[in-house]
Amino acid sequence: MRHTRGRTVDVTSTHDLRRRLDGGARTLSGWRLRGLDLTGLGHRLRRADVAGATFLGCTFAEGDAEHVDAAGALVLPALPDVPVDVYRAGLYSADELYDAPTWADSLDGRAYAWSQEQDPAVLPEGATTPPTLARALHDHAIDLALGRWREGRSLVGVMGGHQATRTDEQYAAAARLGLLLATEGADEGHPLSVTTGGGPGAMEAANLGARLSGGGRAAGEDALAAALGRLAVVPTYRPSIDAWAMAARDVLAEAPPAPDAGTLGIPTWHYGHEPPNLFATAIAKYFRNATREAILLEVCDAGIVFLQGAGGTVQEVFQDACENYYADEESVAPMVLVGRRYWTEELPAWPLLAALARGRAMEEHVHLVDDVEEAAAIVTGAGPGGRGSEG
């Protein structure tokens, strides 16, 4: 994903559009106008140069849409038969996804149900938009929104198993890792946005630790200890996503301010039966899992810490290894595997990874450690195991 530069302007309110036009704007090339009621602004659009503008889900007075189309603009209609806004300008928040008393009635639940009910290759009866097109438009909008969110931020990934419950030692360790990455990074002068796959288990834990880091390490440790106690009452989202989410809301109600760097989740409706966690301050949720997996690894420019996991985590280890294998020295990002016995005996990915790295630019950036404290020190540059040292 590349950051874009130039005259791209997102306009999401008629007030903003009027302000820009009143300020003298006459050329709308590169503008994206999203979901606007333009029924009273047709005369002003006719006086402007709209060639190269994109109108996404806007409402026009009769004849105005045809005029701007003929003048060189791209007009894409609203999609009323789709539960999500396929032209959205920003990432999701937890409150937006969990916008109803029960998960089944929420935006997240409705979107998952829609994605499961539709045959992507068949236009449903009465619908006007093929599901494949709606999903592609939505995921493209999330790509753009994520690119904007990343600007000025450095992202560190935490990968690990989704099955860890809130009472597991692995969950507590992942939460501590999230806290350490966020606080030690800030202390070393390079704040990090902790990034996960956005789901339950180790992903939720890492987002939780990062979310509680806004008041600093000492306050964060106190808040985390209290949070783990509250969350233990509902260890998993089975059988009730609603109870699981409510426990998270209780923690957030007592949480300190979120860190400036934020914490990111990148989940997918492909695994929609696993709900997104509520502790990520920004959520880039995709329909296509292949897109989500590639983006999740690509955005973690500050490196990735791999906790214990199974098939999905092993896949991510070697996807990331492939990126680093072919990268030049300046583009290699640290890879840290946590758990020597696990990664050398139970799932011996380390010997292959070390052999793959040997003699390459990535070799000194690949590490195997015993605990999350060591992992955080390597990624953040705090202590003797700092950036670029051998693991």
For residue 363 the two structure tokens come to 């070799």
Mean pLDDT (whole number) for 49-68: 93
The reply to whether 330 and 353 lie within a common domain is yes
Residue 193 placed within a domain: yes
pLDDT at residue 386 is higher than 50: no
The reply to whether 336 and 243 lie within a common domain is yes
- pLDDT at position 128: 63
Does residue 202 come out as left (phi exceeding 0), alpha (psi in the -120 to 50 range) or beta?
alpha
Torsion of CA 349, 294, 176, 224, to 10 degrees: -150
The reply to whether 231 and 253 lie within a common domain is yes
- pLDDT at position 77: 86
- pLDDT at position 117: 81
Q: Tokens 């029960």 — which residue? A: 102
Q: What is the mean pLDDT of the chain?
A: 92
pLDDT at residue 196 is higher than 90: yes
The reply to whether 266 and 371 lie within a common domain is yes
Its pTM surpasses 0.75: yes
Domain count across the chain: 3
Categorize the per-residue pLDDT at 246 as very low, low, confident or very high, splitting at 50, 70 and 90: very high
Label residues 267-296 b or e (16+ Cβ within 10 Å = b): bbbbbbebbbbbbbbbbbbbbbeebbbebb
pLDDT at residue 389 is higher than 50: no
- pLDDT at position 124: 64
The reply to whether 273 and 374 lie within a common domain is yes
- pLDDT at position 391: 44
Contact 39, 62 (CB under 8 A): no
Contact 297, 319 (CB under 8 A): yes
The reply to whether 287 and 374 lie within a common domain is yes
The reply to whether 274 and 369 lie within a common domain is yes
Contact 230, 251 (CB under 8 A): yes
For the chain, helix (H) and strand (E) counts, in that order, are: 15, 11
Categorize the per-residue pLDDT at 79 as very low, low, confident or very high, splitting at 50, 70 and 90: confident
Domain that holds residue 101: 94-147
Mean pLDDT (whole number) for 332-349: 97
- pLDDT at position 119: 66
Mean pLDDT (whole number) for 132-144: 93
186: CB partners within 8 A, 6+ apart: 192, 213, 259, 261
DSSP 72: T
- pLDDT at position 1: 34
**72-76, 146-150, 271-275 — which one is most confidently predicted on average?**
146-150
Contact 39, 59 (CB under 8 A): yes
